[in-house]
Amino acid sequence: MATYYIGADVHSNSIEMAIRHRKKVIKRYAIPASISAAVQVLNSLPGKKYMAIEEGPMSGWLYRNLHQKVERFVIADPRRNKLISSDGDHDDKIDAAKLALLLAGGYLREVYHSDDEQRVELKHWVGLYHDRIRDAALAKLYSDKGEIAWGSQIRSYVLQPYQMVKDHRTDFQTGNVQAVLDGEIDPFIETYLRHRAKQKSQK
């Protein structure tokens, strides 16, 4: 019985497949990214089939729909496939052929993918929860900064006809402009921190 090693380079709208048999690539396919197109290619190969793809946005979907059509379906960790990532030749046909070669040699580092729909859905919701927490934390961080736009300034420096530096957030001002320009801004920092503490205590 024939044995085929299939490497697939998967994109959102296409899949490049390379079929390896008896130590050489015997067929290549460029198909739409659909289960029916992938199943048609797999059904055209009589014998044992082993398939490999790199982990990506569509890997779970392909695994759940194709793993029963082959003897073994490997989702490989792309960071560990140095033969693919470090080689100068990098295109879909070459990547698919190299995946088939690495699969045949047993050199792929596999990552786990469940075909349990409930686990997949739970993973999806946990990911959404983490995204919401991250977005809320970033929104809080940026709301504290205030608007950064034309005309939004922290301090004014007046050098003529008189000298003054004024912090518009706290209304603190000093006439010693040269000291501020030389880096002596501690009074501005202390006043601003007291101002922020007062604002937070009033909330």
Residue-wise pLDDT for 180-202, tens only, equals 888 888 888 888 888 888 887 87
Are 169 and 79 in a shared domain? Answer: no
pLDDT at residue number 151: 65
Are 15 and 88 in a shared domain? Answer: yes
Are 93 and 7 in a shared domain? Answer: yes
Is residue 196 a part of any domain in this protein?
yes
What is d(CA 155, CA 166) in angstroms, rounded to the nearest whole number? Answer: 5
**Residue at which a domain ends, from 43, 71, 105:** 105
pLDDT tens-place string over residues 77-136? 877 665 555 554 445 567 899 999 999 998 888 887 666 677 777 777 887 888 888 888
Among 118-127, 140-149, 161-170, which range has the highest average pLDDT? 161-170
Residue 61 CB burial class (10 angstroms; 0-12, 13-18, ≥19) = middle
What is d(CA 106, CA 109) in angstroms, rounded to the nearest whole number? Answer: 9
In this predicted structure, the answer to whether residue 10 has a pLDDT above a threshold of 70 is: yes
Domain of 168, in residue numbers: 155-202
- Residue 107: Cβ within 10 Å count: 13
What is d(CA 49, CA 47) in angstroms, rounded to the nearest whole number? Answer: 6
Closest CA to 35 of 2, 8, 74: 8
| Amino acid occupying residue 200 | K
**Residue at which a domain ends, from 105, 133, 168:** 105
pLDDT at residue number 91: 57
What is d(CA 203, CA 201) in angstroms, rounded to the nearest whole number? Answer: 6
Is residue 96 a part of any domain in this protein?
yes
In this predicted structure, the answer to whether residue 143 has a pLDDT above a threshold of 70 is: no
What is d(CA 172, CA 46) in angstroms, rounded to the nearest whole number? Answer: 83
Across the chain, what does the average pLDDT equal? 84
What residue has token string 């970033």? 138
Are 94 and 159 in a shared domain? Answer: no
What percentage of the chain exceeds 90 in pLDDT?
A: 35
Tell me the HSE value of 36 on the side-chain side, using a 13 A CA sphere.
Answer: 0
173, containing H or E segment: strand 173-174
Q: Which residue has the higher pLDDT, 194 or 19?
A: 19
Are 84 and 164 in a shared domain? Answer: no
Mean pLDDT of 25-32: 95
Are 86 and 162 in a shared domain? Answer: no
28, two tokens: 């290549």
Is residue 70 a part of any domain in this protein?
yes
* Confidence grade of residue 15 (pLDDT, cut at 50, 70, 90): very high
pLDDT at residue number 185: 86
Torsion sign, CA atoms 125, 126, 131, 135? positive
What's 81's domain CATH number? 3.30.420.40
What's the structural domain count of the chain? 2
CB 4 within 8 A of CB 47: yes
